[in-house]
């Protein structure tokens, strides 16, 4: 097949062409992984409007605890106030725009801007302005009009999401029936989850969507990309194709896949009971098929993974990681990778589970090492003028798979995880956000 | 002046240089042989905090939290035909400087601190990654030769500025 470099002018036209090719034939244009103009539009049309995971409540347990997080380039202080309420404050002094908080985490009742000393309570209220009456006249500055800007923050089961758009629909409405699937990760224990340490952060040259695309539905790559990790026995599964026969499900802004016959063996025993107690009969029906919910992505860029690990002298141990693919440019992302564990798990089990995570995911993880290598390489090629027009194949399962008719969960499910329904769901959603100014 | 003899200082220096050579040449099995059976190899997480709230080096979590088994597994993986992160391999250079030696808690153990600058390039990318760190090691004499028993790598970054830690520091 010979492909000629088609001339496609401007990001809007490129997007329209890309959407058409995708919806008609499930062909994806690689310029979406590299174009600076497309990236600029993503910041406006997706990141300035979507609900964005920023922190877990357990990271800021006490009054005054804060962490600094980002929605693309926008910095937010996520802080628990004295009353216990959690707020997201835009980390920019209202005077000259300095960061009022330059640490990544800590505990503070006040944020004092280093530049001119404007001081804000951790609620955002401006309470101190040096030489207030002298420099702003007898009436003084109307301090009440100049607080740190509060950004919308809503939570689901301990997960804190921020949204820069005052008009956005509420988080629960956005999640819709996706909560059914999130509950598999979040409600295993009645005691809830806790974050261990801090999220691992690293920056490398790849487009953010490659992480989202991988986690949402790419069980297929495990067999080849991750073959080495399976072969040496770090991933305790029968073979590198272990993902092939689980179903894949899509609903609302979420999609993900299941692993069959890796039942709750990797969870510590009493969780199976509390999971059943916390979840619904529809969840039980899925659990009773020995299905284990594994990888998924919530649009746009937060991904989840339940995986089995192993440490010498232990039975297989499960771990749960949640990650944000933070966009830094068309060809650069920062991964934020959190490890979470049920609060009431035995200490010894938590330790083994955490170590299993370190061995497989995060900066040094034997699985994730190979993923980041792949995504960097794809991003590099996607910059080519010819690459922009050569379609990528997103057709797996399209012509021969039918949705399951007896799937107990909401949305649609397909019989195998070696398919690309979930990726097509991601990209269809992506084009809906990108090609419509009104959404 | 270190409180150990000049001879031992030279021996420890030679050990660290040899170790760096093995890492840069990717002779990982030979590198493993330099480690004690109970080796602990850690690279803690680090976050930016205000000075009053400590160094921001976290306990109990890390980018590496390894023992001999996990290090061996990592190295076995790198030796397979499917270790894409390092095949083709990175070019690395471990610059080991500022070696400081003190007697250890046990007879035959030494506390060794060194600064390390690791330079890494991949493929035909015209860019490079640099990782800067201080390493706090415990070296132990086993059957006459030195072994690395413990290493704690304190990275001078809160964000890791390379695509992965498929290499060792």
Is the Cβ of B84 closer than 8 Å to some Cβ of chain A?
Answer: yes
Contact, A161 vs A171, CB < 8 A? yes
Q: In this complex, do A232 and B166 lie within 8 Å of one another by their Cβ atoms? A: no
pTM: 0.96
* pLDDT tens sequence across A246-258: 999 999 999 999 9
Band of pLDDT at residue B1, cut at 50, 70 and 90: very low
Mean pLDDT of A414-427: 97
Q: What is the pLDDT of residue A3?
A: 57
Residue B70 has pLDDT above 50, yes or no: yes
DSSP H/E element including A348: helix A347-360
* The two structure tokens encoding residue A212: 């989202």
Tally Cβ neighbours within 10 Å of residue A294.
Answer: 23
Q: Is B19 helix (H, G, I), strand (E, B) or coil?
A: helix
* pLDDT tens sequence across A248-307: 999 999 999 999 987 777 778 778 888 999 999 999 999 999 999 999 999 999 999 999
* DSSP symbol at A395: -
- In DSSP terms, A249 is beta-bridged to A256, A413
Q: Give the residue on A whose Cα is nearest the Cα of B68.
A: A312
Q: Is B26 helix (H, G, I), strand (E, B) or coil?
A: coil
Q: Which domains does chain A have, with CATH numbers?
A: 52-167 (2.102.10.10), 177-435 (3.90.380.10)
* The two structure tokens encoding residue A147: 């607080």
Report chain B residues whose CB lies below 8 A from the CB of A372.
Answer: 85, 163-164
Distance CA(A124)–CA(A126), nearest Å, equals 6
Residue A2 has pLDDT above 70, yes or no: no
* The two structure tokens encoding residue A162: 């921020």
Positive or negative, the Cα torsion across A392, A396, A402, A405? Answer: negative
Residue B21 has pLDDT above 80, yes or no: yes
* The two structure tokens encoding residue A381: 């090629």
Report chain A residues whose CB lies below 8 A from the CB of B61.
Answer: 196-198, 339, 354
A238 vs A385, higher pLDDT: A385
How distant is the Cα of A3 from the closest Cα of chain B, in angstroms? 26
Cis peptide, bond prior to residue A178, ω within 30 of zero: no
Distance CA(A414)–CA(A403), nearest Å, equals 5
Contact, B114 vs B137, CB < 8 A? yes
Q: What is the pLDDT of residue B104?
A: 96
Q: Which residues contact A304 (CB under 8 A, 6 or more apart)?
A: A182, A185, A215, A256, A295, A296, A297, A298, A320, A321, A322, A323
Is the Cβ of A329 closer than 8 Å to some Cβ of chain B?
Answer: no
* pLDDT tens sequence across A337-346: 999 999 999 9
CA-wise closest residue to B33 among B84, B79, B72, B91: B72
* DSSP symbol at A149: P
Q: In this complex, do B165 and A369 lie within 8 Å of one another by their Cβ atoms? A: yes
DSSP H/E element including A436: none
Q: What is the pLDDT of residue B135?
A: 98
Distance CA(A106)–CA(B139), nearest Å, equals 35
Q: What DSSP string runs through A101-122? A: --SSEEE-SEEE-TTT--EEET
* DSSP symbol at A43: I
| Distance set, CA A49 to CA A72, A411, A433 (Å) | 11, 24, 9
Band of pLDDT at residue A140, cut at 50, 70 and 90: confident
* DSSP symbol at B160: B
* Dihedral in degrees, nearest 10, Cα atoms A125, A127, A130, A133: 110
Q: Is A407 helix (H, G, I), strand (E, B) or coil?
A: coil
Task: Delimit the domains of chain B by residue range.
Answer: 6-155
Is the Cβ of A234 closer than 8 Å to some Cβ of chain B?
Answer: yes
Average pLDDT in chain B: 96
Of the candidate CATH numbers 3.10.310.70, 3.10.450.50, 3.40.50.720, 3.40.190.10, the domain formed by B6-155 belongs to 3.10.450.50
Is the Cβ of A386 closer than 8 Å to some Cβ of chain B?
Answer: no
* The two structure tokens encoding residue A203: 């920056």
């Amino acid at each position: 097949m010979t492909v000629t470099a088609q001339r496609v002018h401007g990001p809007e036209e490129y997007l329209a062409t890309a959407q058409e090719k995708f919806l008609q034939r499930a062909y994806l244009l690689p310029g979406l992984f590299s174009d600076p103009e497309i990236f600029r539009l993503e910041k406006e049309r997706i990141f300035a409007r979507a609900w964005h995971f920023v922190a877990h409540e357990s990271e800021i347990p006490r009054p005054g605890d804060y962490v600094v997080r980002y929605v693309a380039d926008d910095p937010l202080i996520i802080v628990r106030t004295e009353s216990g309420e959690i707020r997201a404050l835009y980390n920019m002094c209202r005077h000259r725009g300095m960061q009022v908080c330059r640490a990544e985490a800590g505990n503070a009742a006040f944020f004092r801007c280093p530049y001119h000393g404007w001081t804000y309570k951790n609620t955002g209220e401006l309470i101190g302005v040096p030489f207030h009456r002298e420099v702003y006249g007898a009436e003084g500055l109307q301090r009440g009009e100049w607080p740190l800007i509060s950004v919308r923050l809503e939570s689901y089961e301990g997960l804190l999401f921020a949204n820069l758009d005052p008009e956005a629909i509420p988080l629960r409405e956005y999640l819709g029936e996706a909560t059914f699937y999130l509950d598999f990760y979040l409600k295993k224990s009645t005691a809830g989850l806790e974050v261990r340490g801090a999220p691992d952060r690293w920056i490398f040259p790849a487009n953010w969507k490659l992480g989202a695309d991988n986690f949402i539905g790419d069980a297929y790559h495990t067999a080849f990309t991750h073959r080495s990790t399976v072969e040496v026995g770090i991933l305790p599964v029968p073979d590198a194709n272990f993902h092939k026969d689980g179903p894949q499900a899509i609903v609302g802004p979420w999609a993900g896949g299941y692993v069959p016959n890796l039942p709750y063996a990797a969870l510590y025993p009493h969780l199976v009971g509390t999971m059943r107690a916390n979840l619904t009969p529809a969840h039980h029906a899925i659990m009773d098929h020995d299905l284990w919910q594994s990888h998924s992505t919530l649009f746009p860029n937060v991904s989840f993974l339940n995986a089995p690990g192993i440490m010498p002298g232990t039975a297989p141990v499960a771990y749960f990681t949640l990650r944000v693919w933070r966009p830094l440019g068309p060809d650069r992302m920062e991964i934020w990778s959190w490890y979470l564990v049920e609060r009431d798990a035995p200490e010894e089990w938590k330790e083994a589970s955490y170590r299993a995570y370190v061995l497989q995911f995060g900066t040094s993880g034997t699985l994730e090492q190979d993923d980041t290598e792949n995504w960097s390489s794809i991003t590099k090629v996607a910059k080519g003028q010819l690459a922009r027009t050569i379609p990528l194949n997103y057709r797996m399962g399209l012509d021969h798979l039918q949705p399951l008719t007896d799937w107990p969960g909401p949305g649609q499910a397909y019989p195998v995880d070696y398919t690309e329904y979930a990726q097509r769901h991601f990209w269809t959603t992506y084009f809906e956000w990108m090609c419509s100014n009104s959404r | 002046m270190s409180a150990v003899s000049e001879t031992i200082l030279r021996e420890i220096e030679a050990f660290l240089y040899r170790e760096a050579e093995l890492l840069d040449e990717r002779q990982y099995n030979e590198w493993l042989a330099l480690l004690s059976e109970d080796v602990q190899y850690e690279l803690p997480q680090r976050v930016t905090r205000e000075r009053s709230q400590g160094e921001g080096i976290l306990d109990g979590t890390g980018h590496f939290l390894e023992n001999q088994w996990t290090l061996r597994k990592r190295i076995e993986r790198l030796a397979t035909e499917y270790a894409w992160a390092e095949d083709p391999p990175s070019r690395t250079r471990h610059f080991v400087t500022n070696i400081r030696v003190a007697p250890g808690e046990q007879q035959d153990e030494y506390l060794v601190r060194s600064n390390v600058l690791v330079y890494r390039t991949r493929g035909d990318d015209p860019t490079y990654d640099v990782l800067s760190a201080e390493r706090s090691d415990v070296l132990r004499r086993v059957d006459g030769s030195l072994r690395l028993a413990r290493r704690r790598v304190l990275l001078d970054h809160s964000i890791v500025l390379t695509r992965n830690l498929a290499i060792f520091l």
